[in-house]
């Protein structure tokens, strides 16, 4: 009888050990199982899903001819809708209009109800260079020609780095044509005084990378003289901050545009 009792006790201990081991394994595996079954956080989404957003290309005649890409706004079902605002996207020296397509910026804009028009500036991408653009006024006229030719009447102008040679003079001379301005560490901000900046009422989102201690910091110092401005500082990002932090950039971009839309 003693032997039977010991065998019973041993079996109970083995069963108890197996139950404890199973409980421990379940405890360790639950977090990963729960994470795998969770839907993405709403914070990871930028507006509605990007469905059926197509990018078309074209070329405007003139001196010089201008190559461009366009994404038309769509609703949640991917059906084309009237744009809330029209975005004109310029580019930096190392980039072209294709940058905004590859980064997903044009699709994000279209999926959130905004028309996106990205231009190859003269001498970049598929737009030939021209001697006719050596003066500031000619560069201003080029932006005006681009907008007028494509029927842009509610323009928000986005301008990184080198393209400040075009956008800053345009802002100073034709700010009434803009619903908004989004400079991303642009060149040319030192060419104007505080009095020039203070006259501009265009809503502006100043974007720069925290690691851009040269042009980013310099342009920020000058542009904050604009009376109607907000600042988007992208932590851990360099000069081309939108490339380093595309999600944060797109989120800040849509937030700014949605606010502009409400004021129309």
161, burial (CB in 10 Å: exposed 0-12, middle 13-18, buried 19+): buried
Please give the Cα distance from 219 to 188 (Å, whole number).
8
Q: How far is CA 154 from the centre of its chain?
A: 19
Q: What is the dihedral of CA 121, 122, 123, 127, to 10 degrees?
A: 90
- The active-site residue out of 159, 239, 244, 250 is 239
- Residue whose structure tokens are 């070329």: 59
193 is catalytic: no
263 is catalytic: no
Cβ neighbors of 260 (< 8 A, separation 6 or more) are 85, 156, 179, 180, 203
For Cα atoms 83, 87, 88, give the angle at the middle one, nearest 5 degrees: 140
Cα-Cα-Cα-Cα dihedral sign, residues 201, 113, 185, 150: negative
212 is catalytic: yes
- The active-site residue out of 127, 167, 212, 219 is 212
Which sequence positions are flagged as catalytic? Answer: 161, 212, 239
């Amino acid at each position: 009888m003693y032997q039977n009792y010991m065998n019973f006790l041993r079996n109970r201990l083995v069963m108890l050990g197996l139950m404890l081991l199973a409980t421990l394994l379940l405890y360790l595996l639950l977090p990963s199982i729960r994470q795998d079954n969770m839907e993405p956080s709403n914070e990871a989404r930028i507006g509605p899903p990007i469905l059926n957003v197509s990018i078309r290309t074209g070329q405007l005649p003139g001196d010089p001819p201008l190559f461009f890409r366009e994404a038309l706004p769509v609703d949640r079902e991917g059906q084309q809708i009237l744009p809330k605002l029209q975005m004109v996207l310029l580019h930096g020296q190392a980039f072209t209009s294709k940058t905004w397509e590859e980064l997903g910026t044009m699709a994000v804009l279209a999926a959130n109800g905004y028309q996106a028009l990205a231009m190859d500036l003269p001498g970049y991408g598929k737009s030939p260079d021209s001697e006719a653009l050596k003066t500031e006024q000619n560069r201003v006229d080029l932006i005006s020609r681009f907008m007028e030719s494509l029927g842009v009447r509610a323009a928000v102008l986005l301008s990184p780095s080198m393209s400040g040679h075009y956008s800053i003079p345009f802002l100073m001379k034709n700010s009434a044509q803009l619903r908004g301005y989004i400079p991303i560490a642009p060149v040319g901000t030192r060419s104007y005084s505080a009095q020039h900046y203070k006259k501009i009422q265009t809503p502006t989102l100043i974007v720069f990378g925290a690691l851009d201690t040269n042009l980013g910091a310099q342009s920020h110092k000058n542009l904050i003289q604009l009376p109607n401005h907000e600042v988007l500082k992208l932590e851990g990002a360099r000069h081309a901050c939108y490339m380093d932090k595309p999600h944060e950039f797109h989120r800040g971009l849509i937030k700014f545009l949605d606010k502009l839309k409400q004021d129309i």
